[in-house]
Amino acid sequence: MTIAKGNFVEQNLGLWDRVFRVVLGCVMLAVPYYLLTQAGVTSERWHSLLIIFSVYPFLSGILGADPLYRVFRVKCCDLSSRNRCGSFPFQVDAFLGRHPIPEDDYEHTLSNSHHERHA
């Protein structure tokens, strides 16, 4: 595994892809939980499979990295200098309309992020 500038994983997912994956993982967990809490419903094999398979979209969304995207060298995050892969704080600020200004063009980790309002 290549460590990129202090990150443990090389991020290759954009903000919307990450949000979608976390929501999908939560839904995949919530559906079997809801069905199993209803009276008279027995556990079926697909409940267990859905719970097991929910781990992949949830963790990839939280980490911002998809191993399959990495194998095929796909990145769905913006490649501009202000919103590049691995810049989750800047992606969130840009989405909220705060127009973040990075200190440099390469380091966008949480420890080095100082957000300023764009005049």
Mean pLDDT of 93-106: 66
Are residues 61 and 25 in contact, defined by beta-carbon separation less than 8 angstroms? Answer: yes
**3-class secondary structure, 96:** coil
Sign of CA dihedral 42, 48, 54, 59: positive
Whether residue 93 sits in one domain with residue 37? no
Kindly report the pTM of this predicted structure: 0.64
The answer to whether residue 1 sits within a structural domain is no
Whether residue 12 sits in one domain with residue 60? yes
| Better-predicted residue by pLDDT, 102 or 108 | 102
The answer for residues whose C-beta is within 8 angstroms of residue 63's C-beta and 6 or more apart is 9, 11
pLDDT computed for residue 84 by the predictor? 60
Number of separate domains in the chain: 2
Whether residue 70 sits in one domain with residue 83? no
pLDDT class of 40 with cuts at 50, 70, 90 = confident
Range of the domain at 30: 6-76
* Amino acid type, 35: L
Whether residue 26 sits in one domain with residue 68? yes
pLDDT tens-digit readout, 43-84 = 788 888 999 999 999 999 988 889 898 888 888 776 665 556
pLDDT class of 2 with cuts at 50, 70, 90 = very low
Whether residue 58 sits in one domain with residue 11? yes
For residue 92, is pLDDT > 80?
A: no
pLDDT computed for residue 79 by the predictor? 60
